[in-house]
Amino acid sequence: MRNIFRNRVVGAALIALALVAAACGSGDDAKDGPTIIVGSTNFGEQLILGDIYATVLEQNGYSVERSFNLGTREVVNPALKSGEIDMLAEYTGTLLTFEGGTSSTDSDETFSSLQDVLEPAGLSVLDYSPAQDKNGIVVTQATADARGLTKVSDLAQHNGELIFGGPPECSEREFCLIGLTDVYGLDFAEFKPLDVGGSLTVAALEGGEVDVALLFTSDGVIAAKGFVLLEDDMNLQPAENIVPVVRTEIIDAYGDGLADIINEVSAAITTAELSELNSRFGDGEDPDALALDWLQSNGFVSG
């Protein structure tokens, strides 16, 4: 998701400054139509997904620009609706909730509701991917063993004892601290605002500054560090399938061919592969190189 928490306040002016022109289609393969501005929010997975979609479009002759690392959904969502960007990899449940809808744990139901909400805004929701990136509540293996933790509801046995760390916005989000309190009845000794599922959160959990933390389920660091992802046994988190959202006028300009290409790519992205790509990004690999490697490995572009 990635998710509504992956937010950092960035001025809307960054949209204009962040545009990076990419190679356009040329020769007989070049498509006749407007340049497609692919956007992203401000974390590694978004950069990778943005590059996956941008690169496959370029390789198929579409004129593409990249407008990455724009910051919050509060900035990027209006930019998509206004035409400052044309395409964005989103997360079904979080986007539906952001738009005022009601998400569920059912992927098809959440997707259908999202289509209904976005169509009047001139946005087309293409096929969702099997890959999901949800909020995940994690602890270290040592904490899980010492406290007998396997699922989120187990934390209620230790109300008032544990320190929870997460994104600064967590205290205001229904899928974070509000939901943990209202749905699970959790009462933490303290909430520590950290970063958005990043290195600060990982370091705080590893170092014992927090006992419980919010990371993201596709984050490769969970397996790499041996953290325990607690089961969301009361289904707080909605379906969070990766889904491309594209301005309808772009789809209309190019016809079904553009949607077909994007849908084929989305169908091939799995949560496990996304986790691996995120892990490699954390090890210092560039998102554009990761995107190209994935596309080549899956036969979407030539080596």
Instruction: Please check whether residue 5 lies inside any domain of the structure.
Output: no
Of the pLDDT bands very low, low, confident and very high (cuts 50, 70, 90), residue 173 is: confident
pLDDT at 137 over 60: yes
The domain in which residue 101 lies consists of: 13-132+239-297
**Mean pLDDT of the residues in the chain:** 90
pLDDT, tens digit, 9 for 90 and up, residues 284-301: 999 999 999 999 999 999
* pTM for this prediction: 0.78
The average pLDDT across 159-174 equals 94
Closest CA to 287 of 95, 295, 23, 130: 295
Give the pLDDT confidence of 175-184 residue by residue, as tens digits.
899 999 999 9
Asked if the structure places residue 4 within a domain, the reply is no
Residues 221 and 252 in one domain: no
CATH code of the domain containing 37: 3.40.190.10
Q: Are residues 53 and 117 in the same domain?
A: yes
pLDDT single digits (tens) 54-108: 999 999 999 999 999 998 788 999 999 999 999 999 999 999 999 999 999 899 9
Q: Are residues 257 and 122 both part of a single domain?
A: yes
What is the arithmetic mean of pLDDT over 254-259?
Answer: 95
Angstrom distance (rounded) from CA 167 to CA 169: 5
| Domain at 217, CATH number | 3.40.190.120
Tens digits of residue pLDDT in 196-236:
888 899 999 999 999 999 999 888 889 889 999 999 999 99
Domain count, the chain: 2
43 is a domain residue: yes
Domain end residue (candidates: 184, 204, 229)? 229
**Closest CA relative to residue 227, chosen from 154, 143, 148:** 143
Q: Is 33 found in the same domain as 88?
A: yes
Residue 143: Cβ within 10 Å count: 19
224 lies in some domain: yes
Instruction: Give, in degrees to the nearest 5, the angle at Cα 170 between 166 and 175.
Output: 110
**Do 245 and 127 reside in the same domain of the chain?**
yes
- Shared domain for 123 and 246, answered yes or no, is yes
Q: Which of 232, 228, 235 is nearest to 211 (CA)?
A: 228
pLDDT (mean) for 261-269: 98
Residue 287, in any domain of the structure: yes
Q: Examine the domain organization and report whether 255 and 108 are in the same domain.
A: yes
| Predicted pLDDT at 224 | 87
C-beta atoms surrounding 299 within 10 Å: 10
Residue 3 in any domain: the answer is no
Which of 182, 206, 229 is the C-terminal boundary of a domain?
A: 229
Model pLDDT for residues 8-43, shown as the tens digit of each residue: 333 333 333 343 433 444 445 899 999 999 999 988
Q: Assign residue 146 a region: left if phi > 0, alpha if psi is -120 to 50, beta otherwise?
A: alpha
Q: pLDDT value at position 196? A: 84
Query: Looking at the domain assignment, is residue 215 inside a domain?
Result: yes
Domain for residue 262, yes or no? yes
> pLDDT tens-digit profile of 45-62?
999 999 999 999 999 999
Query: Cα separation of 77 and 41, whole Å?
Result: 10
Same domain, 199 and 243: no
Sheet holding 212-216, edge to edge: 190-193, 163-166, 212-216, 135-139, 228-229
